[in-house]
Amino acid sequence: MPNSDWTRQSLDLSRVFYQLSDTSVFELKRFIADHNLSGHVDQLAIDRSHFHSLMLDVEKLRTEVDDGQKFVVVKAIEGFGPVQTEAVHWILSLLLGETIVQNEEGRHLIHIYDRDPKRRIKDGARYHQTHESGQIHTDNVNIPENYQYLLVGCANPAKIGGENIIVNGRAIYDYLNTHAREELEILKNNFVFEYRGISRELYEAPIITFSERGEPLFRHLRTYMESAQMRADKPLTEDQVRALDTLDAALSMSEFQLLYRLKSGEILVANDSQVLHDRRCFVDGKDMITLDELKKHPESKKPLKRTLLRTWVRKI
């Protein structure tokens, strides 16, 4: 059974965690041994013919993400550290489809860590550059084009906090369709969004649309959208505010939220338009370093900051 309308109580955890096959791990170890991983990992190219077993694994997890519960967590590979985990994340992304640029520097794989504990989202910082808990959201708010997959890998968890929150969009839609139909209809109309971190342009799109199969698709990160509405000189109406409050209230209900703290080496693969997510706030310790610093100084004994890895992937 697809179980596409799962809630926290009905989620089948046996289908969430995915262990790569021994032959897939062998293929990954062979690739990593043959390549220099000290630079930007998104400059690495792969030859698909070298990943026959891994491609079979990828198609199995793709089926779950496309047609099942809409997300999986790929288990860590024993003996792999943060640099090797980043390489695995990148290879899985390439085998799933076409990776998408995420910032003005042209990076396809982003490191999520706290750049400055004093900087806040409300001051214009991008969510992935802070330690704050944000709002339950999808990542597909920065660009109008659709893509299917969000990958979030864990190079290192936080010293304290940082649990991941996962919410099934289908369950939220069904709940609103029963309890708040008027507000749901408003969410199907256009709102203004911005290409935050990519360009200064704005675009318009609904918060809820539908796939060819009639499945609800979400585009939602309220802070970014409210900022875009103000920049466009289009203040939200009372009806729009009520609709957004209704959506956020439903997303905050504990029965719809799965809390899971990704472990080192684990990689979340999710359908970004159908699975919404957030994190709890977190804190790092003193004198911790970034993954880029670790690559430059692999001999360093300093601990790694909470660092997650992110790619956006379009199915091809």
* CATH of the domain spanning 13-314: 3.60.130.10
Tokens describing residue 99: 């990776």
Count other C-beta atoms under 10 Å from residue 275's C-beta: 22
| Backbone torsions φ then ψ of 95, nearest 5 degrees | -75, -25
Q: Which residue type sits at 210?
A: F
CA atoms within 13 A on the CB side of 265: 13
pLDDT, position 124: 67
Rounded distance between C-alpha atoms, residue 306 and residue 286, angstroms: 12
pLDDT, position 315: 95
- Give yes or no for a contact between 149 and 305, defined as CB atoms under 8 angstroms apart: no
Q: Which of 89, 262, 254, 85 is nearest to 162 (CA)?
A: 262
Tokens describing residue 115: 């750049």
Q: Which of 97, 64, 33 is nearest to 315 (CA)?
A: 97
pLDDT, position 123: 67
pTM beyond 0.85: the answer is: yes
pLDDT, position 229: 96
- Kindly give, in sequence order, each residue whose CB lies less than 8 Å from that of residue 92, ignoring residues fewer than 6 positions away: 54, 58, 74, 151, 267, 269
| Backbone torsions φ then ψ of 129, nearest 5 degrees | -105, 10
Rounded distance between C-alpha atoms, residue 144 and residue 114, angstroms: 27
Rounded distance between C-alpha atoms, residue 169 and residue 179, angstroms: 15
- Give yes or no for a contact between 257 and 159, defined as CB atoms under 8 angstroms apart: no
What residue segments make up the domains of the chain, in order of their start? 13-314
Per-residue pLDDT of the chain (316 residues; tens, 9 = 90+): 577 889 999 999 999 999 999 999 999 999 999 999 998 999 899 999 999 999 999 999 999 999 999 999 999 999 999 999 999 999 999 999 999 998 888 899 999 999 877 777 666 677 677 887 878 999 999 888 889 999 999 999 999 999 999 999 999 999 999 999 999 999 999 999 998 877 889 999 999 999 999 999 999 999 889 999 999 999 999 999 999 999 999 999 999 999 999 999 999 999 999 999 999 999 998 999 999 999 999 999 999 999 999 999 999 8
